[in-house]
Amino acid sequence: MKKLFTLLLSLCLVTAFAAKPKNQYVKITTSKGEVIIKLYNETPLHRDNFLKLAKEGFFDGTLFHRVIKAFMIQGGDPDSKNAVAGAALGEGGPKYTIPAEFVDSLFHKKGVLAAAREGDAANPTKASSGSQFYIVQGKVWNDSTLNAVEKNRMKFKIPEWQRQVYKTIGGTPHLDRNYTVFGEVVKGLEMVDNIAAEPTAKGDRPITDVKMTITILKKREAKKLEKELKKAAINK
């Protein structure tokens, strides 16, 4: 009987482990569509903080308050919730920062989620905002423009495989290893393009407010999504 119980317990543990998704995912919903974002396990401080804020409803009702076409869309400022038209935004947050988590293999290709931060003069350690983030739209580059970025704005060479991504999918290479990348869009990238196309006023704030809600995918939903993504990758 004891051996049978041990066997059943082992089977239960194996089943539970097998059912666990590899990553955690969030859904950002707006009037311009929705995206599902995979949070990287390689950046646990940013991942866990983002999940904590999403669980608390911190982002719900806030705006994508800064939008620059061919660059990025930025949100996460709590001061943007119910902000009056024309109000200057971008300084709000939860009154703490997150240590930078730079990973060479995580770079600013189109669709990545990254943390906003104060500039180097006030923030030499490049610590991230506690809540403000951006999603990259970027643009497609060629060897000539990438070489110029390397020469003028970088202290390292862009790996060849990353250059190929920048030359096909696009992104913002000059931000690499300066801002922490901690996730990427896996579904719904058109939402980013839709928001990036919005007319803007002073401070790059969209003239028409783009509000968001952020929810965390449940384990069952995440596991189903990973199966769909794996199947789609095989069928490419």
pLDDT (tens digit, 9 = 90+) per residue, 30-40?
Answer: 999 999 999 99
What's CA 221's distance to the chain center, in Å? 19
Round the average pLDDT of the chain to a whole number and report it: 94
What one-character DSSP code corresponds to residue 208? Answer: S
The domain locations on the chain are 21-234
Hey, what are 232's tokens? 């789609």
Strands (E), the chain: 24-30, 33-39, 64-68, 72-75, 97-98, 112-115, 128-129, 133-136, 181-187, 213-216
Residue 114 burial (CB count, 10 A): 27
Q: CATH number for 21-234: choose from 3.40.50.300, 2.40.100.10, 3.40.50.2300, 3.30.465.10.
A: 2.40.100.10
pLDDT digits (tens, 9 = 90+) for 39-70: 999 999 999 999 999 999 999 999 999 999 99
pTM for the model stands at 0.91
